[in-house]
Amino acid sequence: MNTLFKNIARFILLALFQVLVFNQLELGYGIHIMIYPLFIMLLPFEMGIISLLSLAFLMGFLVDIFSNTYGLHASSLLMMTYFRPRIFKMFSPIDGYDPIKEPTFFDMGIRWFLSTFAYLLLIHHFWYFLIEIFRFNEIFSILIKTSLSFMFSIGLSIVIQQLLYKKVKRQ
């Protein structure tokens, strides 16, 4: 019950943050900060891929509605979610994941979190800019946008996670 409540709170908070704060920030150089993938990353380990995909679609679509992109965010988040179990398997500890722990960087350590989330977020960002630009002669600009936005997104994801985690703990 507690996990469910926590994840609903995360869903709403991350969606609101994305739509009302980060969608309005224009840093230039094609940087587009996306923090909502963090929601999918932080869902419990034992959650099935079918429910993960459905939640990803829901989240992506919500962001789409508010940013006039109409399916672009949903598509990228689905792509990332599809690879989540594979990447998690790649970085799995020897005796598997402890179901009590959560995939946050407090529970699993900064090294584990950074490596898994970096892979997932890279997939997400690359797919997003690839579909948005959709020209292979601009592959250079796709890569630049991906890497610049990626750096901002992952940094802010960690900061926001710290804020969210402390908030939940206090309750």
Residues in contact with other proteins by CB under 8 A are: 19-20, 23-24, 26-32, 49-50, 53, 57, 60-61, 64-72, 74-75, 78-79, 82, 131-133, 141
CB nearer to other proteins: give 2 or 24: 24
Q: How many CB atoms lie within 10 A of CB 3?
A: 11
Least Cα distance to 18 among 63, 57, 76, 59 occurs for 63
CB distance 36 to 14 below 8 Å = yes
- Min CB(155)–other proteins separation in Å: 18
Cα-flanking dihedrals φ and ψ of residue 161, to 5°?
A: -60, -40
CB nearer to other proteins: give 109 or 155: 155
- Min CB(2)–other proteins separation in Å: 28
CB nearer to other proteins: give 44 or 165: 44
- Min CB(19)–other proteins separation in Å: 8
CB nearer to other proteins: give 3 or 141: 141
Which tokens hold the place of 160? 């926001």
Q: How many CB atoms lie within 10 A of CB 136?
A: 8
- Min CB(66)–other proteins separation in Å: 6
Which tokens hold the place of 151? 């750096």
Dihedral sign, Cα of residue 28, residue 18, residue 135, residue 145: positive
